[in-house]
Chain A
Amino acid sequence: MLRYIARRVLLLIPVLMIVAVVAFIITNVIPGDPVRLMLGDFATEAEIAAMEQKLGFDQPFHIRFFTWLSNIIRGDLGDSLFLQMPVTKAIFGRLEPTILLAIIGQLIGILIGVPLGVLAAVKHRTAIDQSAIVLALAGISVPSFWLAIMLMMLFAVNLGWFPTSGYRPVAQVGLGVIRYLILPGVSLGVMQSALLARMTRSAMLDVLKQDYIRTARAKGLNENIIISRHALKNAMIPIITVLGFSMAALLGGTWIIETVYNIPGTGALAITAILRRDYPIIQGSMIFIALVYVVVNLVVDICYALINPRVKYR
């Protein structure tokens, strides 16, 4: 098992290298002169030259890339152009709301999605099943930012149950932080729950067809026990895999939802950076999000091996 984990961790290195290459290319393949674009029409030639030197744009492409790469390997993502601080510090300073938001979004997704999927599978081909399918389809069809505005209007502005937007750190309000994150969490979680419900339903349908379920029924076992102990446990394996993959959608969603709710997290940092072309922050945010995604999927793979004895630690 330890060897399996070590091997998987080592395999991360080439993936992260590619991630770095992609992040660099995406933020550097810019038509026209990036520095001129960044500083606007009123910049003087001297200002442009100074900024070019600061960003290294006076160097050829490949030199720039290798300097940048050797820096990020040492954990140096450069300095923000606007915030007067290193990119890593800017991102770390804003981790708390993003992490909490992602956890709440994922939890809401699981708490709604898995039971809905199980219910649909158990009541296969009934009105309940059909409504669950349509509900899940509707869930992946709603733009999260629109849902966010709707929830804000209803529960914050009209009913006054939650603050309309903003955020207070845990250090100040303790558990009260949840009040700031429920609505954004639901906005993120709906898409997540819809994906999970679809996956859970089809995984459960697969499992419910198996012989051992028939055996369990034949020996007169309680249907609830069959579903929870025999079926769901085995259906969890594909569900957990989807949980890992859908993390990408969730992390992408934080960029949008944090902007809608004015939550000072890493997503809002990235969007602000994008709107004012703060390239080091944009690159750093991309690397950060890919890193989280890759690590989450590594953890999922390891869990997968732990839960499912059939996975060989090759």
Chain B
Amino acid sequence: MRQKIKLNERIKNIHPYMLVGGLLVLLVILAAVLAPVLSIHDPLTMTPRNRLQPPSAQHLLGTDEFGRDVLSRMLYGARISVQIGLTVVVITVISGTIVGMLAGYYKGLDNIVMRFLDGLMAFPEIIIAITLAAVWGAGMTNIIFAMSFAYFPRMARVVRGSVLASRDLEYVEAARAIGARNTYIMTRHILPNCLSPILVQATFCFATAILAEAALSYLGVGIKEPAPSWGGMISQGRDFMAVAPWLVNVPGIAIILAVLGLNLLGDGIRDYLDPRLQD
């Protein structure tokens, strides 16, 4: 009975943002996973005869300048965005957690690592991502690593902050007193305490990665044509903006919904996990 009340309480505490954000994110992930099933047309097949068709029953969101179906390209674009976003999040979380944990736990290491991260953070993240992607050459793997390198300092900082907050707590001291090894203390006692800030930061990182991938592809240093990335679609559609506005609007709205969903989810999770932050 008590359990049930607790569960009800918990559900009641779920912020509407979390719900709306979660739904939007789910929608984007579903679009990404089901792209091959949902799209009637191939995203790469060109039919010049059908170029720049406005939305119709045949092509729900119209066609582009090569006669490719915009809806299919948008769905496959979700696949690219989600794939890149998720991989960047995983790499960022792992590397950021390791670096942040070590810096926060070992005082001697802290100064050196943090100064280096400060140096990295003096560059706008998007600029590090653009430069690395350009220097390494376009392509999915390269831009994933470029973005991970750009975003991991922030994650490391968040983790370090919460390690510092729990490093000197009594139960950690107790673990040390009974002779627990450092790795054991870090993974079993400190890490669980850092999980909620990591989760929140990961959600925002996902959002930023989608925006950054779009910007990179727009500038021509990200995913290359003919692969359908949202940023690339906007860049190409721009020239036809006056006659075929859907070419820019469809991918633009897709980006906004995906990023808004993740930001709402992140805000919601933060409020849910730490009610003190709720005003």
Contact = CB atoms under 8 A, between A and B. Distances in A.
Contacts of B180: none
Given A141-B260, A202-B279, A22 B119 contact: yes
Contacts of B211: 141, 143
B248 to A, nearest CB: 6
B interface SS class: helix
Contacts of A157: 241-242
Contacts, number: 139
Contact of A255 (B130, B252, B259): B130
Interface string A134-159: 00011011111110011001000100
Contacts of B131: 26-27, 274, 282, 286
A26 B124 contact: no
A146 B252 contact: yes
B67 to A, nearest CB: 22
A293 interface: yes
A224 to B, nearest CB: 22
B259 A141 contact: yes
Contacts of B260: 137-138, 141
B127 A252 contact: yes
B135 A18 contact: no
B258 to A, nearest CB: 8
Interface string B160-201: 000000000000000000000000000000000000000000
A interface SS class: helix
Interface stretch (B32-40, B95-103, B218-226): B218-226
A18 B134 contact: no
B128 A26 contact: yes
Nearest to B210: A143
A145 B234 contact: yes
Interface in A16-31: 17-19, 21-23, 26-27, 29-31
Contact of A143 (B118, B137, B242, B255): B255
Interface string B242-264: 10010010001001100110011
Contacts of B135: 26-27, 29-30, 34, 274, 277, 282
Contact of A248 (B124, B214, B267): B124
A108 B183 CA distance: 49
Which of A14, A31, A140, A205 has the most CB atoms of chain B within a 10 A radius of its CB? Answer: A140
B132 interface: yes
A19 B134 contact: no
A143 B214 contact: yes
A37 interface: yes
B107 interface: no
Nearest to B129: A252
B242 to A, nearest CB: 7
A289 interface: yes
B136 A30 contact: yes
B122 A15 contact: yes
Contacts of A48: none
Given A26-B135, A252-B125, A293-B122, A18 B116 contact: yes
A213 interface: no
A146 B125 CA distance: 19
Contacts of A270: 127
A149 B238 CA distance: 8
B115 interface: yes
Which of A18, A34, A289 has the most CB atoms of chain B within a 10 A radius of its CB? Answer: A18
22 contacts: A15-B115, A15-B118, A15-B119, A18-B115, A18-B118, A18-B120, A27-B131, A124-B279, A137-B260, A145-B214, A145-B218, A146-B255, A149-B241, A149-B252, A248-B124, A251-B124, A252-B125, A275-B221, A277-B134, A282-B135, A286-B131, A289-B123
Return the 3 tightest CB-CB contacts between A and B, nearest first: A18-B119, A252-B124, A141-B260
